[in-house]
Amino acid sequence: MWAWLLRRIGQIIPTLIILSFMIFGLQQLMPGDPALILAGEERGDPLVLQQIREELKLDRPIVEQYLYWVGNVVQGDFGFSWRIRMPVTDLILQKLPVTIQLATMSFLIAIVIGVPLGILSAVKRDTPTDWAANGVALFGISTPNFWLGIMMILLFSVELGWLPPSGYVPLWEDPVQSLATTIMPAFVLGTGVASVLMRHTRAAMLTALSQDYIRTARAKGVSEKSVIRRHALRNALIPVVTLGTIEFGRLLAGAVLTEQIFTIPGFGKLVVDAVFNRDYPVVQGVVLATALIFVLLSLIADILYMAINPRLRQA
Amino acid sequence: MADPVLELRDVTISFPTDRGLLRPVDGISFAVAPGRTTAVVGESGCGKSVTALAIMGLLPSGGRIGGSIRLAGREVSTLTPEEWRGKRGGEMAMVFQEPMTSLNPAFTAGEQVAEALRIHQRLDPKAAFDRAVEMLARVRIPDAARRARQYPHQLSGGMRQRVMIAMALACRPRLLIADEPTTALDVTVQAQILALIDEMKRETGTAVVLITHDLGVVADHADDVVVMYAGRVAERAPAEQLFATPQHPYTIGLLGAAPKLEGGAARLASIEGTVPDLLHPPAGCRFAARCPFAIEKCREQSPPLGEVLPGHNVACWRAPLDTLLEVAA
């Protein structure tokens, strides 16, 4: 178990090295003077350009530049936004709680809708209930988030006036208002993930329910409810948990369109604003942070998989 | 014969299919006495496993039962699903063919045995687990307390089948159905498992229905034999009598086709032809097309199961066959 964990963590290292090549390389591949690119809209200011050249050691050989950059990243320094005049790390840490809150809410909504619906549609396979559940999932997958978002704003904010159409209030300032501002974007994001979870739960449940051990459970008089909840679900959830963790990672990476529509100041909005402002260090920092979150979550997914699957636990 | 534990009378099992009504079992009757082992023998597809599932109330959806199935004198085929569930694992239990896949990989062996006790004897989890450990010890699992905490993947095939038997017998059922319980196991383990079933039968007085295609197993372990062919009973007799004086040409063919060690390098005998299509069964005897003794009547009329000797029934127009065999020899 511990040996496995160490080996698994060891596997991350090459991933991280390749990742650093790609992100650092992108900056080098841009045509022209890197200082001009990094300065973005501030390129007219020779003082800024000189500062960048000194900060990033742009007059040094490229290997040295790379090592210097990696060294900074390892110490938590993701660069500096000359546009906003703030360290990128601070910007990311500022947006991270917003994104975590939104992702967590979306994920909870996705689980509450997706998993029971998947179980129901597997148990009621090939009945109108199953078709209805699949219809809901198809709707969830194929509805564009921006459209659903706009429709929800029209209904709940404009027509009914129940919820604020946009903006964000931090959770610790006013929890109720905070939930009111995030519930619609969370729902919009959650429906897509719910559909994915539903389809996978359904498939995993169908597989589990067709196994010999289900017949054994029935043969010893286990009630149908318990056959589904204990015997089938316990096995079916193993792959769903892994998938769910990865989906959570996707939510944490930010939702560009949804955050834009509801003006939620999360990762998505940060990166969009940065792109429009040609604030390259911020884009680079967000990409790096997102990639790190993904690597970390896939490690967590593997650990969870290990923890809930007895066949792997003692192996 | 004491009151039978299980009595099937004219049982028909049918499934609707796209090509018409399929009847894998078509009017079979037999009874199982307490403390005895009744072997149900036949080729794959003769309806023996589906009969077992029907008795347990575990037919796949769409399956319908006609006729009468009585457990300890009570009709079960008309039970509601919930009433039937109450009998499964308590009054009747089943051991399946595939020990490798029949246990749930997500629960320990002990938990799986304990579950039956929790359901039928309403034991609390602790007491049920303790009883489960006792049961595992009784089916000769060494170091039962430790094994009870292990998952199926940590147990060998023979050990898993012992767990299945412990699970089936935990609530002292009146009837144990063992569907090819040793087919998937090594030969040496096979003998151990069958000996265990015999021993448990003697201890608990459980009636056993042993479903098999292995006549060697039948000879060593069965008291009574039901030979099935294409969804019907071909012959039914006490085991000794069946082996001494088989009456149905199919039984004779089976006995001839059973490999014997003394035979050395001799070619394996076989029964010519194949099983009829059950969607369109022939009008007469279902074995007629493969039977060396078939006459015109065999192809036209289905033979009833008649008693040729006390307790020895055979469905054949040409029985008793003794004279015919002498002619053939």
pLDDT tens-digit profile of A128-177? 999 999 998 998 888 888 898 889 989 998 889 888 888 888 888 888 88
Q: Are the Cβ atoms of A222 and B101 closer than 8 angstroms? A: no
pLDDT at B327 over 60: no
Q: What is the mean pLDDT of residues B24-34?
A: 91
* Superfamily of structural domain A90-312: MetI-like (1.10.3720.10)
Give the chain B residue whose CA is nearest to the CA of A225. Answer: B82
CA–CA min distance A250, chain B (Å): 29
* A307 touching B (Cβ < 8 Å): no
Smallest Cβ distance to B96: which of A212, A221, A310?
A212
Q: Are the Cβ atoms of A231 and B104 closer than 8 angstroms? A: yes
Q: Are the Cβ atoms of A212 and B106 closer than 8 angstroms? A: no
pLDDT at B264 over 60: no
pLDDT the model gives residue B261: 52
Smallest Cβ distance to B154: which of A218, A235, A314?
A314
Confidence grade of residue B269 (pLDDT, cut at 50, 70, 90): low
Q: Residue B179 half-sphere exposure, CB side, CA atoms within 13 Å?
A: 22
pLDDT in tens, A220-259: 999 999 999 999 999 998 889 888 988 898 888 768 888 8
Contact residues on chain A for B161, CB-CB shorter than 8 A = none
Q: Which residues pair with B28 in a beta bridge?
A: B11
CA distance B24 to B14: 7
CA distances from A5 to A243, A313, B28 (A): 20, 11, 59
CA distance B48 to B62: 18
Which residue type does B149 have? R
* A220 touching B (Cβ < 8 Å): yes
Q: Are the Cβ atoms of A234 and B153 closer than 8 angstroms? A: no
Smallest Cβ distance to B58: which of A211, A219, A314?
A219
B206 three-class SS: coil
**Complex-level ipTM:** 0.86
Question: Of A220, A228, A306, A311, which to mutate for an interface test with B (greatest number of B Cβ within 10 Å)?
Answer: A220
Question: Of A216, A222, A233, which to mutate for an interface test with B (greatest number of B Cβ within 10 Å)?
Answer: A216
Give the chain A residue whose CA is nearest to the CA of B163. Answer: A216
* A314 touching B (Cβ < 8 Å): yes
Smallest Cβ distance to B94: which of A219, A231, A234?
A219
pLDDT at B69 over 70: yes
Q: What is the mean pLDDT of residues B242-251?
A: 89
* Spatial contact of A153 and A261, defined as CB atoms under 8 Å apart: yes
Q: Residue B193 half-sphere exposure, CB side, CA atoms within 13 Å?
A: 30
Q: Are the Cβ atoms of A215 and B167 closer than 8 angstroms? A: no
pLDDT at B48 over 50: yes
Q: Are the Cβ atoms of A219 and B98 closer than 8 angstroms? A: no
CA–CA min distance A195, chain B (Å): 26
Q: Are the Cβ atoms of B102 and A215 closer than 8 angstroms? A: yes
CA–CA min distance A228, chain B (Å): 13
pLDDT the model gives residue A52: 84
pLDDT the model gives residue B98: 86
Q: Token digits for B183?
A: 């087919």
pLDDT at B326 over 60: no
* A229 touching B (Cβ < 8 Å): no
Helix (H), strand (E), coil (C) string for B31-94: EECCCCEEEEECCCCCCHHHHHHHHHCCCCCCCEEEEEEEECCEECCCCCHHHHHHHECCCEEE
Smallest Cβ distance to A218: which of B58, B98, B154?
B58
Give the chain A residue whose CA is nearest to the CA of B82. Answer: A223
Q: Which residues contact B203 (CB under 8 A, 6 or more apart)?
A: none
B247 three-class SS: coil
CA proximity to A168, closest of A187, A188, A183, A151: A183
Q: Are the Cβ atoms of B90 and A221 closer than 8 angstroms? A: yes
Q: Are the Cβ atoms of A222 and B56 closer than 8 angstroms? A: no
pLDDT the model gives residue B263: 47
Domain boundaries defined on chain A: 1-88, 90-312
pLDDT in tens, B171-203: 889 999 999 888 878 888 888 889 989 988 888
CA proximity to B267, closest of B251, B275, B256: B256
pLDDT the model gives residue A313: 66
pLDDT at B259 over 70: no
Smallest Cβ distance to A220: which of B89, B98, B106?
B89
Look at B327 and A279; give whichever has higher pLDDT: A279
Contact residues on chain B for A223, CB-CB shorter than 8 A = 85, 119
* B110 touching A (Cβ < 8 Å): no
What predicted TM-score, i.e. pTM, was given to this entire model? 0.80
Each residue's pLDDT expressed in tens, for chain A with a length of 315 residues: 778 888 888 888 999 999 989 988 887 777 777 788 777 777 788 888 888 888 888 888 888 888 988 898 889 888 888 788 889 999 999 888 898 899 999 999 999 999 999 999 999 999 999 999 999 899 888 888 889 888 998 999 888 988 888 888 888 888 888 888 889 999 999 999 999 999 999 999 999 999 999 999 999 999 999 999 999 999 998 889 888 988 898 888 768 888 888 888 888 888 888 888 878 888 888 888 888 888 888 888 888 888 888 777 654
CA–CA min distance A314, chain B (Å): 9
CA distance A218 to A231: 10
